[in-house]
């Protein structure tokens, strides 16, 4: 099938494109390259355009006639959203409104949407199930929850078939080292820990070591980006056999602390991870990990790379090559 991958030049979108192509589908990347990378578009055509532009979207749908759409074109940095909320609402919500209008015009009724566990806010119970109240505590989470509700409304009124996947912490890289995580600035834990271990940019910042967790640091659910890509394909396939909408968690079902991630980085690289302790960040819950029973039942989802050392190793192989480093840069 042909799949329009909106934001397909970004981290998760590119891995989804690679996975689609591997099974014989054609990903058509639609991206304005504001944060994506043109060299990550390798498995199908690139349509340069803005998701908020009806003209750009109409061109993509008319030219390529996709059978379905996947959406990854969102602003994601939580702190940035607090400082520039209108930018987030414009892109994260306004962009989906424009996309849905273009899909309706093109008679394309299948959408896989990248949502987030941030729609839950501060969790009341763990592991997090889909029954947990959604009460986001930041602009990013509120924009994603608004889109989820909009999708449900459009599905009821117009028959849209959709799946909203609530990600936990995407991490890692393709096992062959071909593509991986590249954000500027980089705010995610594993690439920053790898940078510190490689002696790039000085010590990393560790936010809070006094949480009520097993080692004092935050505990999170890290899901390999290729497992996340497989969940998207399973959700896409389900849209062709099931009407209506679906919203479910995608994680591993297990929590890993920040210190445990750093220990995994040290084992993989053979180098220490220099780090400085900083105060807790506002709004960071001590623990956050998923119950993935719904994804297992409805999508047949089962993570293949669930252990943190494998996730870190795949990320290291990509970054080591991207940074032009030897296997262990700090060792003789």
Residues 69 and 114 in one domain: yes
Report the C-alpha gap between 90 and 86 in whole angstroms.
6
Length of the chain: 332
| Peptide bond before residue 99 is cis, with ω within 30 degrees of 0 | no
Query: What per-residue confidence (pLDDT) applies to 329?
Result: 43
Query: What per-residue confidence (pLDDT) applies to 332?
Result: 32
182, part of any domain: no
Query: What per-residue confidence (pLDDT) applies to 10?
Result: 95
Residues 100 and 135 in one domain: yes
Report the C-alpha gap between 251 and 243 in whole angstroms.
24
Report the C-alpha gap between 141 and 162 in whole angstroms.
19
Cβ proximity of 158 and 107 under 8 Å: no
Please report, for residues 93, 124, 130, 135, 149, the alpha-carbon distance to residue 73 in angstroms, rounded to integers and kept in the order given.
10, 30, 24, 23, 18
Query: What per-residue confidence (pLDDT) applies to 183?
Result: 82
CATH number at residue 270: 3.90.25.10
Query: What per-residue confidence (pLDDT) applies to 330?
Result: 40
295, part of any domain: no
Query: What per-residue confidence (pLDDT) applies to 79?
Result: 83
Residues 231 and 215 in one domain: no
The count of structural domains within the chain is 2
177, part of any domain: no
Select which of 11, 120, 140, 211 is catalytic: 140
293, part of any domain: no
180, part of any domain: no
Element (H, E) at 163: strand 161-167
Strand runs (DSSP E) across 43-152, as ranges? 46-48, 68-71, 110-116
Residues 75 and 197 in one domain: no
**Angle of helix 308-322 relative to helix 258-269, nearest 10 degrees?**
60
CATH number at residue 63: 3.40.50.720
Residues 133 and 9 in one domain: yes
Vertex 118, ends 149 and 299: CA angle to 5°?
70
Examine the residue annotation and report whether 162 is marked as an active-site residue of this protein.
no
Query: What per-residue confidence (pLDDT) applies to 315?
Result: 97
Cβ proximity of 27 and 43 under 8 Å: yes
202, part of any domain: yes
Cβ proximity of 261 and 219 under 8 Å: no
Residues 201 and 106 in one domain: no
Residues 196 and 72 in one domain: no
Report the C-alpha gap between 56 and 74 in whole angstroms.
17
181, part of any domain: no
Residues 166 and 273 in one domain: no
Residues 97 and 212 in one domain: no
145, part of any domain: yes
Query: What per-residue confidence (pLDDT) applies to 150?
Result: 98
Residue 67, judged by CB atoms within 10 A of its CB (0-12, 13-18, 19+), counts as: middle
Residues 232 and 272 in one domain: no
Report the C-alpha gap between 16 and 231 in whole angstroms.
9
Residues 25 and 79 in one domain: yes
Percentages helix, strand, coil for the chain (3-state, rounded to 5) are: 40, 20, 40
Domain residue limits at 151 = 2-171+222-250
Could you read off the pLDDT tens digit of each residue along the chain, which spans 332 residues? 999 999 999 999 999 999 999 999 999 999 999 989 999 999 999 999 999 999 999 999 999 999 999 999 999 888 888 999 999 999 999 999 999 999 999 999 999 999 999 999 988 899 999 999 999 989 999 999 999 999 999 999 999 999 999 999 999 999 999 999 998 888 899 999 999 999 998 999 999 999 999 999 999 999 999 999 999 999 999 999 999 999 999 999 999 999 999 999 999 999 999 999 999 987 788 899 999 999 999 999 999 998 999 999 999 999 999 888 865 444 33
Residues 153 and 230 in one domain: yes
Tokens representing 245?
């909408």
């Amino acid at each position: 099938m042909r799949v329009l991958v909106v934001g397909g030049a970004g981290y998760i979108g590119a891995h989804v494109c690679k996975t689609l192509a591997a099974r014989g589908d054609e990903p058509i990347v639609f991206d304005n390259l504001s944060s994506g990378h043109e060299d990550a578009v390798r498995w199908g055509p690139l349509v340069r355009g803005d998701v908020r532009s009806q003209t750009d979207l109409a061109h993509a749908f008319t030219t390529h006639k996709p059978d379905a759409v996947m959406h990854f074109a969102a602003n994601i940095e939580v702190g940035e959203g607090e400082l520039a909320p209108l930018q987030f609402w414009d892109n994260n919500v306004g962009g989906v409104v424009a996309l849905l209008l273009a899909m309706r015009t093109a008679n394309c009724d299948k959408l896989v949407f990248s949502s987030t566990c941030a729609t839950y806010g501060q969790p009341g119970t763990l592991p997090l199930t889909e029954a947990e109240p959604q009460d986001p505590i930041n602009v990013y989470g509120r924009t994603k929850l608004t889109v989820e509700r909009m999708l449900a409304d459009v599905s009821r009124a117009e028959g849209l078939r959709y799946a909203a996947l609530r990600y936990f912490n995407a991490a890692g890289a393709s096992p062959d080292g071909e593509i991986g995580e590249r954000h500027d600035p980089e705010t995610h834990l594993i690439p920053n820990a790898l940078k510190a271990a490689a002696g790039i940019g000085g010590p990393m910042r560790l936010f809070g070591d006094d949480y009520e967790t097993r080692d004092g640091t935050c505990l999170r659910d890290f899901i390999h980006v290729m497992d996340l890509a497989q969940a998207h394909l399973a959700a896409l396939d389900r849209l062709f056999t099931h009407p209506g909408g679906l919203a479910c968690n995608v994680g591993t079902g297990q929590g890993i602390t920040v210190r445990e991630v750093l220990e995994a980085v040290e084992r993989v690289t053979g180098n220490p991870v220099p780090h400085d302790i900083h105060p807790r960040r506002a709004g960071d819950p001590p623990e956050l990990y998923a119950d993935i029973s719904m994804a297992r039942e409805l999508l047949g989802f089962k993570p293949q790379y669930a252990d943190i050392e494998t996730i870190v190793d795949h990320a290291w192989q990509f970054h080591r090559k991207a940074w032009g480093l030897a296997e262990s840069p700090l060792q003789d």
